[in-house]
Amino acid sequence: MIESLNSKFPSWISNTGPYSDIVFLSKVSLYRNIEGYNFTIRAKDEEKSEIYDSLTEGIKTIKNFNNIYPIFELLDYEREFLFERHFIPYSLIQDGKHSAVVLNNEQNNILLINADEHLQISSISSGFEIEEPYNQCDQIDDNLNTEFVFSFDKKLGFLTSSPMRVGTGLKISVFIYIPAIVITGGVSDLIGDLDNNNFSMDGKYIDSGGVMGSLFKIKNEFTLGLSEDNIIEKTKKQIHDIIQKEIDAREYLIKNARYETEDKIWRSYGIITNARFLSLGDFLNLASAVRLGVSLGLIKNISILDLNKWTIQSQSGHLNLENGGNLDIREENILRAKLIRENTGR
Amino acid sequence: MKCDLCGNNEAKYKYYEVDSEGVREMNICSECAHRKGIDFSPRTQELKVDNIVCKKCNLSFKEYKKKNRLGCTECYTNFRSKIDSILLQTHNGLIHKGKKPVKNAKLLSMKKEIRELQKTLEDFVKKEKYEEAVHIRDKIEKYQEELKSIRRNK
């Protein structure tokens, strides 16, 4: 049943948004719990199944959420596929009992049942765009709130199992490519700066060698004591600062190490379009350099849209779903290389 | 567990001795602790807090610390003293300044009514009773306006 998702890209992959060459996507989430039940971590199976039943039933009254995927019915690589599309957290790949994800047809609005909290309302936009996905979440929250009573405390706001989500329950994640900051050695300063302002910064794809593809996730840690508008404003300002830092670092590179930078970009282009084997790590690192090349106007026959699509398509769950499952690493590497070659006419 | 120093009494405290070889962990009794002149008070307090258990979901504060996850809404009250300092580290104060839930009961009943009216409307249209249909449609629109204004004033 998940095959239908594979044949259609979410709206945030088939379109690009503001600052798309630097920001991959923006995801906004609101966390809510149903009054009268323990939080998921402490809820008994009967409680979870009651929450599951009432939420899946209540969601039917909301327009557009027509596609429900009970996680416990899915194969491992199908769960990975959902994780790769930013629909479910990694923890649900291992344990999806009593959990479901519900999507609208455009696959940009997501309802998650019985994951970190009873309910997670999320919306994803391409590029750097926070208001629009927040408005989507806000509206869905209002609609669901007429069907359910959410745990709420006058002083502390919406109550969540993690004290890091209490209050507004609002988390904003922005996935940002900062290859020039990485090359010029500015990452640890940036992490320190973000930490001081209560933002977290983590590599999106990590292996033993560190962060792959210079892609990082920036997220607000604070959720209490500020209004939703203030949290959005603060986050926007922070992300704008990082985008500016990346632009400055790129200018510095072009000014001071032009041939080295162009060489790295064109070598990466050569390998990614000709390779017969590509590990995920190789792909991510090469694609990040190619992305820089597209952004600097050097590479013209590959677009940011292509790179976004390949980044999602070249991951294990997607390759498996596309090719009937049970692929080993070697087969994945071959198929990944083939995907890029076929899309670049090689 | 017996005390690592005297070997007689029940060990009550965890004690860390640091020397050039590194850190050694010992479990010692109150008598030996007293003899060594160690002030255990903050640690004792910590242990006491660890043993607090939420009256509703039975989660202990020690279990909370393992995963940084609370078990139920009552945990916020039962672990108040500790939770406040955790919240202050990350958030901008302890008072919620954001959105409040919509006033539930009234909205719930209005939404239900609108749904029923919509069904009636469809029926009338099917039966080609357009005059009645227009009447129902106006009613629905009026309700939807009211619904919007309630949401705006939430």
What confidence category does residue A202 fall into, taking pLDDT thresholds of 50, 70 and 90? very high
The Cβ of residue A54 has, within 10 Å, a number of other Cβ atoms equal to 16
| Pick among B95, B97, B109 to test the A interface (most A CBs inside 10 A) | B97
> Which residues on chain A are in Cβ contact (under 8 Å) with B76?
153, 156, 159, 166
CB–CB contact B93 A224 (8 Å): yes
- Chain B: give the shortest CA distance to residue A131, in Å: 15
> Which residues on chain B are in Cβ contact (under 8 Å) with A152?
100-101
pLDDT the model gives residue A290 = 97
Q: Report the predicted TM-score, pTM, of the whole model to 2 decimal places.
A: 0.82
Number of Cβ pairs closer than 8 Å across A and B? Answer: 115
* A170-198 pLDDT per residue, tens: 999 999 999 999 999 999 999 999 999 99
Render the burial of B82-95: b for 16+ CB within 10 Å, e for the rest.
bbeeebeebbbeee
Q: Which of A79-88, A210-219, B27-36 has the lowest mean pLDDT?
A: B27-36
What confidence category does residue B1 fall into, taking pLDDT thresholds of 50, 70 and 90? confident
Residue A152 has pLDDT above 80, yes or no: yes
- Give me A212's structure tokens: 């792959």
What confidence category does residue B16 fall into, taking pLDDT thresholds of 50, 70 and 90? low
Nearest CA to B91 out of A122, A230, A189, A116 is that of A230
- Rg (alpha carbons) of chain A, rounded to whole number: 21
**Which of A45 and B37 is assigned the larger pLDDT?**
A45
Residue A151 has pLDDT above 60, yes or no: yes
* B62-95 pLDDT per residue, tens: 999 999 999 999 999 999 878 988 999 899 989 9
CB–CB contact B107 A152 (8 Å): no
* A259-301 pLDDT per residue, tens: 999 999 999 999 999 999 999 999 999 999 999 999 999 999 9
* A113-138 pLDDT per residue, tens: 999 999 999 999 999 999 999 999 99
pLDDT the model gives residue B2 = 85
pLDDT the model gives residue B22 = 57
CB–CB contact B70 A152 (8 Å): no
CB–CB contact B69 A168 (8 Å): no
pLDDT the model gives residue A322 = 94
Q: Which residue of A has its CA nearest to B103?
A: A146
Using a CB–CB cutoff of 8 Å, tell me whether A89 touches chain B. Answer: no
Label each residue of A28-58 as H, E or C. Answer: EEEEECECCCCCCCCCCHHHHHHHHHHHHHH
* A297-344 pLDDT per residue, tens: 999 999 999 999 999 999 999 999 999 999 999 999 999 999 999 999
- The most distant pair of C-alpha atoms in chain A lies apart, rounded to whole Å, by 64
Residue B102 has pLDDT above 80, yes or no: no
CB–CB contact A147 B108 (8 Å): yes
The DSSP H or E segment spanning A320 is: helix A316-322
What confidence category does residue A146 fall into, taking pLDDT thresholds of 50, 70 and 90? confident
Using a CB–CB cutoff of 8 Å, tell me whether A168 touches chain B. Answer: yes
